């Protein structure tokens, strides 16, 4: 395994999403892998850490999540900008070779049951918390984070270090179409004591 | 009214939150106003536009939202960094003068029923979509966006223009404690056609 990939304590896992990055959602069922982009993902709780993600009824990843009850939410970087845009625009149903065409490489972080996208800054392994009403009415899925990892070159000691990493490590934040913003400079509020 | 504040068409309202900024949530009931900071807010639907926001049981704003069924989600900027941090850290119960102490100025955008925070980049006026199970189990609240506005100096024609505005207009993205990141530079994915 890439020696830069280190576990993140569960109580710090929310910090991987707290600043609102666009994420990749991946899942596997019955030998089928898929990866999609999602701007509508958000932390929901600290302990145990939970998150929400919106999965449209049209996306194939949703069926894999519902069937397997497991998924990964991962934080792509500027280096994966085109990949993120492509997996967000192409459907596995219409493009069976979507993942290799988009340049997705998968790695193994937690056994053989989930596809983790290589090159991301952080990964959150999730168990679906079934809420049929939310899923049916709002396309809203809740995941409990079972384990988390980050690349220590950009997240370590419980904090992002975008300012010390190369520009290719910045998280990306989708606006619309192919337009994103990279995360920018650190700010410290007056009187901040941490 | 500030002539720079312009309505945002409802079908573009999701773009005000799509890049994951930390927001201010405000509400009013029975003559009491409050404003809190929330990093856990997220778009939920396009049309009609909806959003989710996590409101802890300990926060006073939650009681105002539950009682009034109305709230505002607004996007603060670097210029409001200290204000955002302060309203996020202080409770109205312990600090009755929390809003003036934090430098909050309120403005009127939609009648007299809601407090809008002056100086923000965008405002989304929301109606609570009651979901008692989500609220009780997850502190998760759903709002339908009834109207939206933005300051045209940083959001116009359905797009953010952070790169053309001064650095004080960047949205802020909370990590933990008093630490935030400002949003950074625009990125365009290869083949983006919009």
- Quote the pLDDT of residue A93: 86
B140 touches A: beta carbon within 8 Å: yes
Residue ranges of chain A with per-residue pLDDT less than 70 = 191-194
What b/e sequence results for B147-174 when a residue is b if at least 16 CB atoms lie within 10 Å of its CB, and e otherwise? ebbbbeebbeeeebebeebeeebbbbbb
B172 touches A: beta carbon within 8 Å: yes
| Residue B110 pLDDT exceeds 90 | no
CB A114 within 8 A of CB A71: yes
Task: Summarize pLDDT for B119-150 with one digit per residue, the tens.
Answer: 999 999 999 999 999 999 999 999 999 999 99
Burial of B47 (0-12, 13-18, 19+ CB in 10 A): exposed
- Quote the pLDDT of residue B194: 43
What does the domain layout of chain A look like in residue ranges?
A: 5-182
> Which residues between 39 and 98 in chain A have a beta carbon less than 8 angstroms from any beta carbon of chain B?
39-45, 50, 52, 54, 78, 81-82, 84-86
Token representation of residue B127: 């109606």
The percent of residues above 90 in pLDDT, for chain A, comes to: 89
Name the architecture of domain B5-182. Roll (2.30)
| Residue B162 pLDDT exceeds 50 | yes
For the ranges A96-100, B18-22, B89-93, B170-174, which has the lowest average pLDDT? B89-93
Task: Summarize pLDDT for A77-114 with one digit per residue, the tens.
Answer: 999 999 999 998 888 888 999 999 999 999 989 777 89
- Please compute Rg for chain A using Cα positions: 16
Token representation of residue A5: 């990939």
Q: Do the Cβ atoms of B21 and A20 come within 8 Å?
A: yes
Burial of A9 (0-12, 13-18, 19+ CB in 10 A): exposed
- Quote the pLDDT of residue A192: 57
| Residue B192 pLDDT exceeds 70 | no
């Amino acid at each position: 395994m890439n020696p830069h990939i280190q576990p993140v304590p569960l109580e710090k896992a929310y910090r991987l999403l707290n600043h609102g990055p666009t994420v990749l959602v991946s899942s596997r069922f019955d030998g089928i892998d898929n990866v999609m982009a999602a701007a509508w993902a958000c932390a929901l709780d600290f302990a145990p850490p939970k998150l929400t993600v919106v999965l449209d009824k049209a996306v194939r990843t949703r069926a894999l999540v519902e069937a397997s009850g497991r998924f990964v939410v991962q934080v792509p970087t500027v280096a994966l900008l085109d990949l993120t845009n492509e997996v967000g625009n192409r459907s596995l149903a219409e493009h069976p070779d979507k993942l290799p065409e988009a340049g997705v490489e998968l790695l193994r972080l937690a056994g053989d049951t989930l596809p983790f996208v290589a090159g991301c800054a952080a990964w959150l392994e999730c168990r679906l918390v079934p809420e049929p009403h939310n899923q049916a009415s709002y396309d809203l899925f809740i995941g409990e984070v079972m384990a988390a990892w980050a690349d220590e070159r950009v997240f370590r000691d419980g904090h992002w270090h975008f300012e010390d990493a190369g520009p290719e490590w910045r998280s990306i934040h989708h606006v619309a179409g192919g337009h994103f913003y990279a995360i920018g400079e650190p700010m410290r509020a007056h009187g901040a004591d941490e």
